Amino acid sequence: MRVNLSVAIVAMVKKSHEESLTNENSTLESCPMGQNSNSNNSGNISSNVVGEFTWNEKTQGFILGSFYYSYGLANLIGGPTADYFGGRMLIGVATLASAILTILTPMASRLGAGFLITIRVLEGCFHGVTFPAMNKLITKWYTTEERSKFTGIIFAGIDFGCVLTFPISGWLCESEFLGGWPSVFYVFGGLSIIWCLFWFTLIRDDPKKHPRISAEELKYILEGSPNTEQKHPVPWSSILGSKYFWTTVIAQTGLIFGYIVMLSELPTYFANILHIPINNNGLLTAMPFLAAWIFSMCYSFAVDKAIKSEYLTILSVRRLSVAISGYGPMLCLIGMCFVNCNVGGAFAVLILSGALVSTVYCGPFSSHSDLSPRFAGTLMGLATAFGATIYELFITTEVQPWNEPKTMNEKVEK
């Protein structure tokens, strides 16, 4: 539900005649139209998809970014709430509310961009509580040694969801099912409601409350996990004064930023810059996330085995994970500057970047549980809220002066 709009908006927006001529009049902002497109000079989506809305790029940017306007604040609230009440109800209710809002998205879009932005802000608010709530569940259900592996596996579900969402959304936009692009929101909203039924039936906040857990498994979990039963007030001053917490915050903020950009902007980049038609756009957009899911699963099992075999300590795994998820994508994205309009090269770089960034789940995402199993949800919420707040305070949608290359005349004059 978080990312389906990223694909759907390509089909929702009507391309003006002026925009369709961009490729003939400029080579600075997009690649030439070529074999990647089958649009018959009608823009960057295939000819049987006709956009419904006349939103300009600035408005589209506001719409895509509006999800994150409330996301940070919701994390801040969701952390302490999950620590006190548990994650099961919080995740279930938030997902159900988001599903209903997703189903209402087509109606809101037709009422106006302001209504759609409101829907997305509310969705961001509900989604924002899920990460800290999940972190709290992880500390309850997995032993200290297993935490790296299962944090990686669980959060890799985000990537697997993208693998399914992007191509299915592209196919639904191309189809006539329920009107084309609106079906994206009806289908994923409906599936999410069904998911909630399974969630409330199968999941419990605490292993001791699960009706189907064996005595042997319960004993194993309890002996390998710290006791967090008693409720205590959140030690805000100690948390905010901890250098280890702020180290985790800085790492998480930097590493996850590029991931969020990929979630929001990849379909638009493929459509408007590389001119990939929408029927292929969703499938190709999913490739970096497929790589991330596969690599994250393999990496999580590998570091788990290394910890159990005492080849690596938990601290070494955290440091290694941050190094891979930070320096690897950095080099890949720098490499994007040199691939130009080489579609194969662009995909290779993005797939490698997606795979490497997935190790973040075994790095700062797991560190919150290391530092404070009792307040893991609060730490995750604070860290995410910090990054979102910095974004909200300083981000702009204005094209920067240094975006435009200097002309030869300007260089000669200087």
Domains of the chain, start order: 4-13+54-209+237-398 (1.20.1250.20)
Q: Which of 156, 157, 142, 159 is nearest to 314 (CA)?
A: 142
Rg of the Cα trace of the chain?
22
Do residues 145 and 307 touch, judged by C-beta distance below 8 A? yes
Give the distance from CA 257 to its chain's centroid: 9
The pLDDT of residue 11 is 82
- Give the pair of three-digit tokens for residue 146: 């297993």
- Give the pair of three-digit tokens for residue 157: 């579900």
Q: From first to last of its 414 residues, what are the pLDDT tens digits of the chain?
A: 777 888 788 888 876 533 544 444 444 456 665 545 554 443 444 445 567 788 887 888 788 878 877 877 787 787 777 777 778 888 999 999 999 999 999 999 999 889 999 999 999 889 888 888 888 888 888 887 777 788 878 888 888 888 888 888 888 888 878 888 899 999 999 999 999 999 999 988 888 888 888 888 888 888 777 665 656 677 888 888 888 888 888 888 777 776 666 666 666 677 777 777 666 666 777 888 888 889 988 998 898 888 888 888 888 988 998 899 888 888 887 887 787 778 788 888 888 888 888 888 888 878 877 888 777 777 877 777 776 666 556 655 555 565 555 554 454 445
The DSSP letter of residue 225 is: S
**SS in 3 state form for the chain?**
CCCHHHHHHHHHECCCHHHHCHHHHCCCCCCCCCCCCCCCCCCCCCCCCCCCECCCHHHHHHHHHHHHCCHHHHHHHHHHHHHHHCHHHHHHHHHHHHHHHHHCHHHHHHHCHHHHHHHHHHHHHHHHCHHHHHHHHHHHHCCCCCHHHHHHHHHHHHHHHHHHHHHHHHHHHHCCHHHCCHHHHHHHHHHHHHHHHHHHHHCCCCHHHCCCCCHHHHHHHHHHCCCCCCCCCCCHHHHHCCHHHHHHHHHHHHHHHHHHHHHHHHHHHHHHCCCCCHHHHHHHHHHHHHHHHHHHHHHHHHHHHHHHCCCCCHHHHHHHHHHHHHHHHHHHHHHHHHHCCCHHHHHHHHHHHHHHHHHHHHCHHHHHHHHCCCCHHHHHHHHHHHHHHHHHHHCCCCCCHHHCCCCHHHHHHC
The pLDDT of residue 192 is 93
User: What is residue 13's three-state secondary structure?
Assistant: strand
Do residues 336 and 270 touch, judged by C-beta distance below 8 A? no
Q: Which of 3, 284, 306, 349 is nearest to 152 (CA)?
A: 306
The pLDDT of residue 26 is 44
- Give the pair of three-digit tokens for residue 268: 């638009």
The pLDDT of residue 97 is 94
- Residue 96's CB is within 10 A of a number of other CB atoms, namely 18
The pLDDT of residue 326 is 86
